[in-house]
Amino acid sequence: MDSVSIVWRAKTDAGWRYFPVIMGRNGRIRKGFVKVDGKEVSYPDGHFEVRYYEGRKTKYKNVGTDATEAVNECNRMQHLSDARDSAASAGVSIVEPVAGKTIKAEAARWVKDTEDRGAMEAAQVNRTALAAFQLANPRLAFLDEITADSAVAFWIFLRKQGKSDRTVYNAHMRLTGFLRFAGVDYKAWRLSAPKYEKKLPNMYNPDEIERMLAACKREYNRVLITMLVKTGLRDQELMHLCWTDVDLVQGKLRVAAKPEYNWMIKDYEQRDILLPPALVELLNGWRKSNPHTKLVVGTINDKPNKKFLPAVKSIAKKAEVLNATLHRFRRTYGTTLLHGGMDLRTVQMLLGHNDIESTMRYLSPATGDEVRRKINAIL
């Protein structure tokens, strides 16, 4: 790292932006104030980040909203950079310590980082997993106190709560994701992840989908559920889908980045998805009812709706559908296409997967009447 500085990452009308901080007359940072075109502007919705460089690559580290802590972290990183340069000249290396970093503060920073990337469902899962970890290890306060025994205690805690082996495994993976984010070398523990029985993909069956659609009292919810079922879009992709992306004449939509919302496509590759006639008809009616909105399923203020998951869970509860998730719609879409005879490469393109292995996870064995017909025909 050649140079380290503090910036204010603020939420503006044009999306999230980085600004140099402003110093007050007392020599302290003025939180939330920046200069735009030479004028002082207040952007209170934001947080401090330390900007540093690795070679020619610019990097940022979220350090929260406390100005004093931001300055301390900036100074620490600058000293560390200087120490690394001196160590490199002497032909030795140093390792950055994690001592002094609290679990609570780093957990909050991790969740905030996930939210800033727009992954609201993942942020909620991360928050829940870390809260459970802290309940399982109430005496731990600092990162350097976390050991392999802490992880095992986490597993035991979850199992005593009646959680399934798969849930314990998922929670462990969230924990290791957090430790990796916080800079803890958990791989040195040589601790294998908890085992679980791999089950067939959990999809919505046609009856569950019909019950959820019947439970939709608002047209908005009916459009939301139908879009999830018939397009396989990720929640962020549907959240930022604009009417300009939808061609109702040709019956297709395009998944594309939205710089105005500071949102990029996963794997950075656009793709087109064909729409079945029933969905085109539904969207035509929805567009006529909402002729001036920019987003297809935005909020009442035409902003990206970050509460799809609570809405889906509420609908599923009324329809008596268990274990409802957003990704389960995507899994249903992909598996239905594969069971219908569509080739893997085409399904890979429609789902926006970067590799064929990701698509193959949806290639579960066919069951029920379809298999029975084939067996009867053969035997």
Kindly tell me the sign of the dihedral angle through the C-alpha atoms of 244, 307, 331, 263.
positive
Residue with tokens 């994690």, as numbered in its chain: 98
Determine the angle formed by the axes of helices 219-231 and 308-318, rounding to 10 degrees. 100
pLDDT digits (tens, 9 = 90+) for 281-294: 999 999 999 999 99
Does the pLDDT at position 258 exceed 60?
Answer: yes
Cα–Cα distance measured from residue 130 to residue 107, given in angstroms and rounded to the nearest whole number:
7
Over its C-alpha atoms, the chain yields an Rg (Å, rounded) of 25
Residue type, 294: K
DSSP 68-112: HHHHHHHHHHHHHHHHHHHHHHTT-------TT-BHHHHHHHHHH
**Residue 155 tokens, joined:** 């597993």
Cite the beta strand spans of the chain per DSSP E. Answer: 5-12, 15-20, 33-36, 39-42, 46-54, 57-64, 246-247, 252-255, 271-274
Residues β-bridged to residue 35: 40
Cβ atoms within 10 Å of 162's Cβ, excluding its own: 7
- Tell me the pTM: 0.57
pLDDT at 2 over 70: no
Strands 46-54, 252-255: parallel, antiparallel or unpaired by DSSP? unpaired
Lowest mean pLDDT of 104-118, 128-142, 210-224, 359-373, name the range: 359-373
User: Residue 57: beta bridge partners?
Assistant: 54
